Structure 1
Amino acid sequence: MKKSPLYVMALLATSFFAACADKPTEVPKSDELLPDSLIKNVQTVPVKLEDENGVIKLNGKVQANEARQAKVFALVSGKVQSLKVELGDFVHKGQVLALLNSTEVAGIANDLANAEANVTLAEKTLATTKSLYEGNLATEQDYLSAKVNYNKSVADLQKAKQVASISGGNQAQYLIKAPISGYVIEKNITNNSAIRPDNNADLFVIADLSDVWIMANVYEADMNSVHLGDEVKVSTLANPEKSYTGKIDKIYNVLDASTRTMKVRISMNNANNEFKPEMFAKVKVDRKVTQKALAIPAQAMVMDNGKNYVVVKKNNKLSVQAIQVMSRFEDKAYVTGLALGDEVVTSSQLFLYQALTNN
């Protein structure tokens, strides 16, 4: 007996809400309650065998090239007297970043002065002892002792000079200088802050941003589709209409347990300073063709309890078919579980699925 359209719509609505309960959806029921006119007019698309290719979209972030950046530490403790730069400033190699007042530097300067005085005294003592020794007024032992004392004083002076050179201080002041030219991308001190001897945190980070990295995340499903040397297109929120070309030059073969992603690196020339550290970036990777696969419109799929299904039309009959998704690109899905030429429904498939699995 043919059912009225009102009865069918009521049945579809009832079955849709009934699906909210945790009811198994594995075994499709009959489509006998669906009117022939509805089955006849549903839109379908045939399953095709196509090259499994497409574009993989990745999310990334701009970072400074680690080989082109330097972390700046203070080699002595002290108190910040003045800051000469701010975050984001461009600095030249050797430029003073901050000035510290340091008792350690004062001690180093004092040690250097004492070492210089000891060398002068030891040199005079050696000359006097040598003269006395040559006049038989001093023993050989006295002369050798004076020579050893002079050599020791010279060694102490050399050590004091090296320490002073490493510390870079002058009297009681210590100058923190930029080791490279670049931008200040981190600043972790303020005026009048104290630098303790046990402080191992960097005070500044200087980066040459003429070359930067794009660090992108690759999901597990796409890991085998990304290769070293793959060409990519990069865009940013600052310039969404502009596309930058690059290549994947590093794959970090470690999976992040929390995000289930693997990082890849793209080195980008930044001569125009368009990329800024911490910028978000969108990366598109052209997926290389590996094989042919059955392709269907992604909109035809229905997900239920973590599994994917499609509604298939055959001989003017509808049925539900479970599928496995191999990959998905844009509006196309590559699947298994269907046969070449099968007609999958692309209109009202959710309601049809509910009707077929709950009547």
Structure 2
Amino acid sequence: MKSLWIKARLFFNSIMLFLMVLTFVVGNAEGSNIINFASKDSHQHETFDNQDSHQHETFDNQDSQHTDESLDDHDERIVMSDEIVQKAGIGIKHAAPETIKHTLQLFGEITAIPEQQFLVSAPYSGLVESLKVKVGDLVVKGQVLATIHNTASLNSYDVVAPASGEISHKYVRLGERITEQPLFEITDLSTVRLQMSAFSADLEQLALGQTVQVRDLHDHNATLTQISYLSARMNTQHIAQAQAVLPNNMGFWRPGAHVKADVTVSNRQVKVVVAKTALQQFENQLVVFVRQDNAFIVKPVQLGQADDTYVEIISGLVAGERYASDNSFVLKADLMKASANHAH
């Protein structure tokens, strides 16, 4: 009996030892899994951080690369393909020699030329039997204008136009008795006179033969002529008259119309000019955008004389260089944008 109890005791102890070992093994296994999970999560977090850092660096590099393509800090270079230049409407011209014109603007009035105005009279007294024309009609030399009945001879005769032109006045009525008064006035407006007003300071710059560009006040039409007369006297308002003759075959220049007259008082040949539209203000200096390969280079320039269209370049450009002549403000805007990006 005692032997049986001892065996039971030993079996119980063996069971307890087995359970203790099993608990230790399982506990180690669970601790190992927990460490592995944490390590995996830590590794994953580190990976994401690295990926995010790498991705941020990549975007920064791409942004820096894009900016470098638009602008180089060293030479203010704007890269732009020919296709983009065309789509943006940026005109390209060559810097070249040109004549700079200095002009003086005067104002004037169109008048008929007195030598081209004709009064038409009847050679005999009589009654106006018929009138063939009215004011505004165009007539040619020899055309019948009216028929007069001579009450003394009881004969009728025709009155004809002494010159071609426009009927500018009609002085008689049908059935009216006439003696020596004129019947009509004919004005030849194929050429007209320009009367320009010039002050004393203006007269010092004017000379016979100078070219005059005449424009209506709305700039709808323009023509070229030359000064043909300069008055030797001034009126009570200290104004002298300068005159020129305008061709007027189309009838645009009407007597009584006020016009602008730009007189070219001097011409000067210069070595290099650009269009005035090419100039832009950047960083407190005037610049021109010069086309080189697939880019525009910003070049500061020093200016000389100018007229309405061109400006002389004293330094900064040489003849033959291509430059942005139209819509250069597009390049300035791109340049300012790139500079702002660099500032940030």
Q: TM-score range by the shorter chain?
A: 0.3 to 0.5
Structure number, greater radius of gyration: 2
User: Which structure has greater strand proportion?
Assistant: 2
Q: Which has the higher contact order (CA 8 A, sep 6+)?
A: 1
